[in-house]
Amino acid sequence: MKHIDLIQHFQTTGTVVSIEPLGAGHINDSFFVKTSESDNPDYLLQRINHQIFKDVELLQNNILHVTNHIRKKLIEKGEQDISRKTLTIIPAKDGKLFYFDGENYWRVYLFIQGGKSYDAITPALAYSAGKAFGEFQSYLADIPDAVYETIPNFHNMEFRLEQFREAVANDAAGRVKDNKEIIAAIESRADEMTKVERIGREGKLPKRINHCDTKVNNVLFDEEGQVLCVVDLDTVMPGYVVSDFGDFIRTGANTGAEDDADLDNISVNLDIYTSYAQGYLKTARSFLLPLEIEFLPFGARLLTYMQTVRFFTDYLNGDTYYKTQFPEHNLQRTKAQLKLLEDLEDKEEQLILK
């Protein structure tokens, strides 16, 4: 179905003048929907990847509960301009939170005007993002609705390793034989990297409602470099806060790209790391346990390792999960993440937070 026809199924207003692809996410497809009237909102149309988010109704209900709760918190704080500070779902004309066209699932959000997302940031932007993700967790600490795992075991390292080992055993794309070194690099760290799961089971690390995709490009900044809005709420679910901390560092503090072909570009920028940590602790310290704070630097390594494992597992499976731009893209991503992991390991002492 054409995008313009899809929009007619939602409770939007105004006359659509253009629909253009937007963003560089690896999972969903996003489109900027512009309307002609200056006093009318623009929209974001998204095709939901339902191979990955298998229960679209649960997904959309999660997002509705999360955004409603955040909106309530923003109102209590006396914030202005709330429709730019959290996502607003535009329901379909039948009242559902998505539209199924017989093949694909679609949703519409209000477009957040003036929001800018970056792939490379400064320490000042990192500080602002840190504060925003700490606030995000604090807002959701008392959400009354159940928040479900939209992807079961999403950030469970033990589960990700099981998937990896299964992929090695199946060798579906015949790629195991040329990549023994990467397999060894993953296995040699597996025990240490699953310790959060073990300590969690002992009851020493709590699960909190996390964003679970704190990639740097999931934050929209305003003109002054303050965070306007945290977006991409598909994976908001219970988890360990080290996950959210680590995923931001993995993306925002990398001097290279997530898939950099030149490994020499890749390292951790310690100024960005420290600024993000300071921002995050400013808004989150009050509710974090000392052990959670102690584990934050480990989170940076853990999420970089997890992403290495996830990209590589997808590569071994024949590239079935992430969008790829060329045949060896997942391998290139794997090597880039592994390089970042090695740099984080080398700088372990410098990552300790005071």
Give the binding site for ligand GN1 (CB under 6 A): 25-27, 52, 213, 215, 218, 232, 234-235, 258, 307
Single residue of 66, 156, 232, 284 touching ligand ADP by CB under 6 A: 232
Contacted by 143, from ligand ADP, Mg ion, ligand GN1, none: CB < 5 to 8 Å by type: none
218 binds ligand ADP (CB under 6 A): yes
By CB under 5 A, what part of segment 221-250 binds Mg ion? 232
Establish if 28 lies at the interface with ligand ADP (CB under 6 A): yes
With contact defined as beta carbons under 8 Å apart, do 37 and 49 qualify?
A: no
109 binds, among Mg ion, ligand ADP, ligand GN1, none (CB under 5 to 8 A by kind): ligand ADP
- For position 41 contacting Mg ion by CB under 5 A, the verdict is no
**In sequence order, which residues have a C-beta less than 8 Å from that of residue 347 and are 6 or more positions away?**
268, 270
Stretch that binds ligand ADP, among 17-25, 134-142, 252-260, 295-303 (CB under 6 A): 17-25
- For the chain, the C-alpha Rg in angstroms (whole number) is 20
Give the residue with the Cβ less far from Mg ion, 232 or 244: 232
Nearest alpha-carbon partner for 106 in 223, 242, 245, 4? 4
307, interface contact from ligand GN1, Mg ion, ligand ADP, none, CB < 5-8 Å by kind: ligand GN1
Whole-number Å distance between alpha carbons of 136 and 141: 9
Q: Identify the burial level of 201 via C-beta atoms within 10 angstroms of its C-beta, where 0-12 means exposed, 13-18 middle and 19 or more buried.
A: exposed
Q: Smallest distance from the beta carbon of 282 to ligand ADP, in angstroms?
A: 24
Under the binding rule (CB under 6 A), the answer on residue 231 touching ligand ADP is: yes
Tell me if 268 sits within 8 A of 340, measured CB to CB.
Answer: yes
Of 35 and 86, CB closest to ligand GN1: 86
9 or 109: CB nearest ligand GN1: 109
CB of 301 to ligand GN1, least distance (A): 15
How would you classify residue 212: left for phi > 0, otherwise alpha for psi between -120 and 50, otherwise beta? left
322 to 152, 165, 302, 331: CA distances (angstroms): 17, 18, 20, 12
User: Site for ligand ADP (CB under 6 A): which residue of 3, 16, 19, 23?
Assistant: 23
Q: Residue 149, class by beta-carbon neighbours within 10 Å (0-12 exposed, 13-18 middle, 19+ buried)?
A: middle
Residue with tokens 């009050």: 286
Q: How far is the CB of 107 from ligand ADP (least distance, A)?
A: 10
Task: Tell how strand 29-35 and strand 89-90 pair up.
Answer: unpaired
Spell out a b/e string for 71-108, using b for 16 or more CB atoms within 10 Å of the CB, else e. Answer: bebbeeeeeeeeebbbbbbbbbeeeebbbeeeeebbbb
Residue of the chain from 9, 25, 71, 214 that contacts Mg ion (CB under 5 A): 25
Cα–Cα distance, 106 to 6 (Å, whole number): 8
Among 6, 9, 12, 25, binds ligand ADP (CB under 6 A): 25
By C-beta, is 63 or 296 nearer to ligand ADP?
63
154 binds ligand ADP (CB under 6 A): no
271's tokens: 């100024």
By beta-carbon proximity to ligand ADP, the closer residue of 140 and 220 is: 220
| Least separation in angstroms between CB 288 and ligand GN1 | 22
Q: Which two tokens stand for residue 93?
A: 């004309």
In the complex with ligand ADP, the residue whose CB is nearer, 27 or 316, is 27
Residue closer to ligand ADP (CB basis): 24 or 270: 24
Residues at the site binding ligand ADP, with contacts judged by CB under 6 A: 22-23, 25, 27-28, 30, 44, 87, 109, 111-112, 115, 117, 217-218, 231-232
Residues at the site binding Mg ion, with contacts judged by CB under 5 A: 25, 218, 232
